[in-house]
Amino acid sequence: MLVLLLIIIPVFFVLLTLMSGEKQAKNISFFGSLVTLALGIYAICAFKTDPLCSCFIYHTPWVKALGADFYIRIDGIDIILVLLTALLVPFIIQSSQSRVIQHPKSYFSLILLMQSALFGVFVAKDALLFYVFWEMALIPIYLICLVWGGEGRQKITFKFFIYTLFGSLFMLLAIIFIWLHTKERSFNIYDFYIAGSHLSPREQLLVFIAFYLAFAVKIPIFPLHTWQPDTYVNAPTQGTMLLSGIMLKMGAFGLIMWMIPVVPLGWHIASKYVVVLSVISVVYGALMALTQKDFKRMLAYSSLGHVGLIAAGIFSWNLQGVQGALYQMLSHGINVVALFYVCDIILTRMNTDTMQKLGGIRNVSTMFSVLFLIALLGSVALPFTNGFVGEFLLIHGVFQYNTGAAVFAGLTVILGAVYFLRAYQVMMHGQTNTLTQGFGAITKNEKILLGSFAVLIIFFGLFPNVILSISEQPVKVLIDHVHMVTNSGIK
């Protein structure tokens, strides 16, 4: 029941928001997201005491003609993403405080609708349901980017939409294909694991490619990333946060739950290529970030590099890699949302995010620059920040897979430090110019939000086991399943 509430409560608040006045819209949706957050935190506490509690399962027939069930369930892997979603949405809604939003009712209800769909994606254990939620998540974010985006948004958002839809249609084909091979025509994920493993290597490879197209577009992985930088820059801040903070995790989550365990032999055949593509993403993202002049665009490319590393960790498919990927999904979500918020604060005040034009903000607002630095260090993966735990595990995982790949993947940490610290130096240090003179102190709301981000970054850096211990067992099971199939497949 708890798991069903997670999906229903945001929808309930969508209705409330729609019925309320334009002025109250933000507050009501914020309250709704807080309720969901409380539920999410309760879920994780309850999960620690009793992971098999029946409140984490909701199972009822849905489309009987097809054997599809409305089967949602929280397990050790997806609870991390549920937590991430529940955690970030209140921040995302509250971060709109300093801006005037046109049509706030529609805006915030779309955000909540998106949250509901995201929960659905993460907890669905029925392939058809997963697909439906997957597509449902696309519509709100598309509308957010289309209606509230910047200049030239029509073309950019349309490119984004076509890319993702193109990928997911192939996923639909793959799902139907596996469904036809399940014993009793069911969409149940566990039946998928069995049916997929029994396909011939060639078929598994084809299914792997079809899934890969869907997930790699979403993550995104080179060379399917071209929609990403423009969309991030062009979307309204909340849209960018949703996209980079949560939505791209859908892709990485899909890799872990829906792709590699379903077609283990496909992974076995293709893993070297996809790891290389992911590492190219890492290096490409970092190099592009180095050359950017605008802060937001730099963040977009740095995000590309970071998620490339997550993908590489998943594709190396060992305990450290996958655990690191899960942890880094959480950390990256928090860090990137914090940084985009910093960027938004700068943009609202200065009307520009070109780094050369800024400088010496530290002299004007010390508080801001300190909080900015903490968020930044999380992304740079300094020890005792959350980024460190994830990236360490990831590089460790990739290292076990292939030393060469790990060396290049490790570049992300070094190059990340270079471009992030350079950006920080240019914007915060140096002479205060006429533009940054008017920066002023940061508001209480901004202080609270950035402060909470800082607390989260350090908390998850100090106590990684809070999360890692939950996911360890289920990750092991998935890994063993895949290795068992590949070992017997090779013989």
Partner 1 sequence: MKELLLLSSLGILSLIAEILSVRKLIYPLVMIGLMLNIGFCVKDYGNNEHIYGMMMLDNVPLAFTALFSFIAILWFTMARNYFTDETNMSDHFSLVLFSMVGVFILTSYTHLVMLFLGIEILSIPVYVLAGSNKKSLYSNEAAFKYFLLGAFASGFLLLGITFVYGGIGSFNIVQIAASAYMPSGISHQLMVVGLLLILFAMAFKMSAVPFHFWAPDVYTGSPTVITAYMATIVKIGAIAGFFRLFSLVLPSYRFFTEVLLLIGVLSIIVGNIIAATQSNVKRLLAYSSIGHAGFIILGITLVGSQTSYITWAYVTLYYLLAYTLANIAAFWVLLIVSNQENTDDIHIFNGLAKRSPVLAGTMAIALLSMAGIPPLSGFFAKYFILINVIDNGKILVAVIAILASLIGVYYYFKIIIAMFSGSDEYAPPIQISGFNKMVLILICLLIVIIGILPDYFFRLIFK
Instruction: List residues near partner 1 by CB under 8 A.
Output: 61-66, 106, 131-132, 135-136, 138-139, 143, 146-147, 149, 153-154, 158, 161-162, 165-166, 169-170, 172-173, 176-177, 179-180
DSSP label of 89? H
Dihedrals φ, ψ of 360, to 5°? 70, 25
The full length of the chain comes to: 491
The position carrying tokens 């520009």 is 352
For the CB of residue 7, give the shortest distance to partner 1 in the complex, in Å.
Answer: 12
The answer to whether the CB of 192 falls within 8 A of the CB of 266 is no
For the CB of residue 251, give the shortest distance to partner 1 in the complex, in Å.
Answer: 18
For the CB of residue 147, give the shortest distance to partner 1 in the complex, in Å.
Answer: 5
Query: Which residue, 63, 58, 7, is CA-closest to 179?
Result: 63
- Maximum distance among all alpha carbons in the chain? 71
Q: Which pair of tokens denotes residue 341?
A: 């918020």
The position carrying tokens 């981000």 is 453
- When the beta carbons of 56 and 148 are compared against partner 1, the nearer one is 148
For the CB of residue 443, give the shortest distance to partner 1 in the complex, in Å.
Answer: 30
Three-class SS state of 101: coil
For the CB of residue 236, give the shortest distance to partner 1 in the complex, in Å.
Answer: 13
- When the beta carbons of 113 and 478 are compared against partner 1, the nearer one is 113
The position carrying tokens 């190099």 is 287
The answer to whether the CB of 376 falls within 8 A of the CB of 362 is no
Alpha helices in 292-365 (DSSP H): 295-316, 319-350, 361-364
- When the beta carbons of 117 and 248 are compared against partner 1, the nearer one is 117
- When the beta carbons of 161 and 401 are compared against partner 1, the nearer one is 161
Helices (H) and strands (E) in the chain, counts: 21, 2
- When the beta carbons of 161 and 424 are compared against partner 1, the nearer one is 161
The sign one gets for the Cα dihedral 424, 426, 430, 436 is negative
The sign one gets for the Cα dihedral 213, 219, 223, 227 is positive
For 462, other C-beta atoms within 10 Å of its C-beta total: 13
For the CB of residue 165, give the shortest distance to partner 1 in the complex, in Å.
Answer: 6
For 267, other C-beta atoms within 10 Å of its C-beta total: 25
Three-class SS state of 72: strand
- When the beta carbons of 135 and 472 are compared against partner 1, the nearer one is 135
DSSP label of 247? I
- When the beta carbons of 136 and 350 are compared against partner 1, the nearer one is 136
For the CB of residue 156, give the shortest distance to partner 1 in the complex, in Å.
Answer: 11
- When the beta carbons of 234 and 486 are compared against partner 1, the nearer one is 234
Distance CA 368, CA 53 (A): 44
For the CB of residue 262, give the shortest distance to partner 1 in the complex, in Å.
Answer: 17
DSSP label of 210? H
- When the beta carbons of 12 and 170 are compared against partner 1, the nearer one is 170
For the CB of residue 169, give the shortest distance to partner 1 in the complex, in Å.
Answer: 5
- When the beta carbons of 46 and 143 are compared against partner 1, the nearer one is 143
For the CB of residue 86, give the shortest distance to partner 1 in the complex, in Å.
Answer: 22
The answer to whether the CB of 415 falls within 8 A of the CB of 287 is yes
DSSP label of 294? B
